[in-house]
Amino acid sequence: MPKWNNIGAISKYKNENQWLVEIEGRPVALFKYNDNYYAIKNSCAHQGYPLAEGNLKGCMVECPLHGWVYDFTNGNCLSLPNKKIPTYKIREKNNCLEIFL
């Protein structure tokens, strides 16, 4: 059953950055861009490379393995329009971040 999962104090997440977070053994790629947070499945739709290790440019992350590019604000793959990465809701609560997963 999905639920909100606390991933720690907001203060440790600096702007224009990316992190790998584990929620009950499931890896999530977390991004902070323009003071907003975004969480996507940490697995490229091509061959599953971890997108938390991708190259950032604005709101886009490029998979280092073969170069597929994603918009992490909505999960859309910009390299192949019919591909998409699952996204997860994220919220701030009591100065902490929570991901719904």
Q: Which residues bind ligand FES (CB under 6 A)?
A: 44, 46-47, 49, 63, 65-68
Smaller CB distance to ligand FES: residue 67 or 86? 67
Smaller CB distance to ligand FES: residue 39 or 63? 63
Least Cβ distance, residue 35 to ligand FES (angstroms)? 28
3-state class (DSSP) for residue 19: strand
Smaller CB distance to ligand FES: residue 23 or 69? 69
Q: Report yes or no: 30 and 18 within 8 Å, Cβ to Cβ.
A: yes
Strand partners, 29: 20, 40
Find the radius of gyration of the CA atoms of the chain: 13
